[in-house]
Amino acid sequence: MRRRFAIKLIFSMMLGGGLAVAAYAAGRSGDGMGPARFLSSYVLTAKPSWFGGFSALALDETGQRVVVLTDRSHLVGGFVKRTANKIDRVTFDTHVHLRNADGQIMRHDRDSIDSEGIAIGQDGALFVSFEGKARVSRYAEIDGQAEDLPRIQAFAALQENKALEALAIDPAGRLYTLPEKSAGAAFPVWRWDGADWQTPFHVEKRNGYLPVGLDIGPDGRFYLLERKFVLIGFRSRLRRWDFVGDALQNETVLLTTPLRTHDNLEGLSVWRSTDGDLRATMVSDNNFMPFQRSELVEYQLPE
């Protein structure tokens, strides 16, 4: 997927009415178990009352431009600066409050907000998955009204606040989404091919972790970020599969973090650095709680 083109297009749409937002932070180290290697963590803070609750992000192919989505339908654009593979500055300089299918700015109505996943098409169109009223919406223009994709019965049957938690797009423009909670031993993965929703495969549940972030990497593989809440904090896990036809194979656990290594990681973007390394950048949802933090976290991934 040509993320540089897509995110550049989003930036050009956002800059006209952008709200300047600075990001200030202090670094925090962490570690995990698995072949992924920790690079850096960066805490985000800013003054606007809507700043926080980050549930999804997308980086362009350079890793420098970032689009972040809050669970209250605010879309924020900015830049990431790194020194020696560590994040040392993040600056947010654009902001848009998304609209619904009626063209109205989304307010605190769970049927309208609770935005959880984003995917960006090669033409710059933005797709957003929602949990309140489970659905996926398309935005041809970032500040325009939403075009809701067909809502199948399986979406309507999902538990509120445990619905379409993650979203990704493949090079063919097909969307993938899955719920945070489902009955049975696996999570269904729905795929939108531009005409219909299908369920090409399921992802097996393991050890009580729940899906929260999804991406198709530049290597063409399927990446799933999961979390597990344990009384006083969160554990995170990152798994990867190869696409083999309409199936997922060769599951690999790339990362399993000890309790409270990071905060509530929810958003995932997999990209390749200029030196050729695969990287996973994740963002945490602070739930607008003073004892939680919004942070960007990066790991280097094995090939």
Give DSSP secondary structure letters for 212-232. EEEEE-TTS-EEEEEEEEETT
| CATH code of the domain in which 180 resides | 2.120.10
* pLDDT score of 21: 64
> Does the structure show a pLDDT above 70 at 75?
yes
What percent of the residues of the chain are helix, what percent strand, and what percent coil, each to the nearest 5?
A: 5, 50, 45
What pLDDT band is residue 111 in, cutting at 50, 70 and 90?
Answer: low
Dihedrals phi, psi of 52, to nearest 5 degrees: 140, -175
**DSSP string of 27-51?**
B-----BSS-EEEEEEEEB-SSTT-
Q: Which of 132, 131, 149 is nearest to 140 (CA)?
A: 149
Instruction: With cut-offs at 50, 70 and 90, classify the pLDDT of residue 34.
Output: confident
Residue 166 has pLDDT above 70, yes or no: yes
Total domain count for the chain? 1
Residues 100 and 146 sit within 8 Å (Cβ to Cβ): yes
Q: Which two tokens stand for residue 188?
A: 């269904």
Largest CA distance in the chain: 49
The range of the structural domain enclosing residue 191 comes to 3-301
Say if residue 1's pLDDT is above 50: no
Give the predicted TM-score (pTM) of the model.
0.94
The secondary structure element, H or E, covering residue 94 is strand 86-97
Return the pLDDT at 13: 67
In sequence order, the 6+-apart residues with CB closer than 8 A to the CB of 122 are 1, 2, 5, 6, 173
